[in-house]
């Protein structure tokens, strides 16, 4: 974002309160700009160059934000919903103020890696069918998963609506009445993983996404946990798109 902004608008957009609350902070002498006490909440500041501090702590301006979430089950991949809790509801106000949205979606009962950002260009590149960005899932499947299933997925399977999936890679971790697998797909049709196994006469009972392109879920991030992407992770995403 170029140009200057009102001080109260800048701090409000970054999640430090409403504009009236920010004006009160300024009146209370809690805000400085370039080391000097801010006298007017309407003063113009350069978000990239001005050093703004609240209660002595420097305010970091970001036009874009990139978040990794370990999505828990029971939460929907949306910015708002009249009935269910959304992934945005899990964010701290500091993050939510920048209005990030989920890149793609995970089903309500699916867990794992979800990227949230307000960078529409990156989101578009990651979701573009032309890019064939791979997504890997861990799944528990009711039924004995066999090498024949893997061969069928590698060819592409016909779903219940007649659509034939692009080739996918199946790794069988354990086969039995409850099989454990990893599946990598390059598209994101509605309930695709579940429908692929259903086409083979089996039922997915647990599903978790562990990677999207070169971005892997942080194993130390608990369900519902959120953190910003590192510079290295951002570079990997940029290279993948």
Q: Nearest 5 degrees, angle CA 123-CA 214-CA 148?
A: 105
All domains in the chain, ordered by first residue: 5-58 (3.10.290.10), 66-129+215-240 (3.30.70.580), 135-212 (3.30.70.1560)
Please write the tens of the pLDDT for every residue from 15-35. Answer: 788 899 999 999 999 999 999
More confident residue, 140 or 1: 140
Q: Would you say 185 and 167 are in contact if contact means Cβ atoms under 8 Å apart?
A: no
Lowest-confidence segment of 55-64, 134-143, 161-170, 221-230 by average pLDDT: 55-64
Coil vs helix vs strand at 122: helix
This prediction has a pTM of: 0.81
3-state SS, residue 142: strand
Burial 83-100 (b: 16+ CB within 10 A, else e): eeeebbebbeeebbbbeb
State the catalytic residues: 107
> What confidence tens digit (pLDDT) does each residue in 140-157 have?
999 999 999 999 999 999
Strands 178-185 and 169-174, by their bridges, are antiparallel
């Amino acid at each position: 974002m170029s140009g200057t902004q009102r001080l109260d608008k800048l701090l409000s957009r970054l999640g430090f309160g409403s504009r009236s609350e920010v004006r009160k902070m300024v009146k209370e002498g809690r805000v400085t700009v370039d080391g000097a006490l801010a006298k007017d909440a309407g003063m113009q500041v350069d978000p990239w160059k001005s050093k703004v501090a609240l209660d002595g702590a420097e305010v970091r301006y970001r036009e874009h934000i990139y978040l990794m979430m370990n999505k828990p089950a029971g939460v929907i991949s949306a910015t708002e919903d009249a009935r269910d809790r959304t992934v945005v509801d899990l964010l701290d106000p500091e993050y939510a103020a920048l209005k990030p949205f989920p890149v793609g979606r995970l089903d309500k009962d699916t867990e794992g890696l979800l990227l949230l950002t307000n960078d529409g260009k990156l989101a578009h590149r990651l979701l573009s069918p032309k890019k064939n960005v791979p997504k890997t899932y861990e799944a528990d499947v009711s039924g004995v998963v066999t090498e024949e299933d893997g061969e069928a997925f590698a060819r592409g399977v016909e779903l219940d609506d007649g659509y034939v999936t692009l080739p996918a890679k199946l790794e069988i971790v354990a086969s039995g009445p409850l099989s454990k697998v990893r599946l990598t797909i390059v598209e994101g049709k509605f309930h695709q993983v579940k429908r692929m196994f259903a086409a083979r006469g089996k039922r997915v009972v647990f599903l978790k996404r562990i990677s999207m392109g070169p971005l892997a879920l942080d194993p130390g991030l608990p369900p519902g946990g959120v953190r910003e992407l590192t510079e290295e992770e951002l570079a990997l995403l940029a290279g993948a798109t």
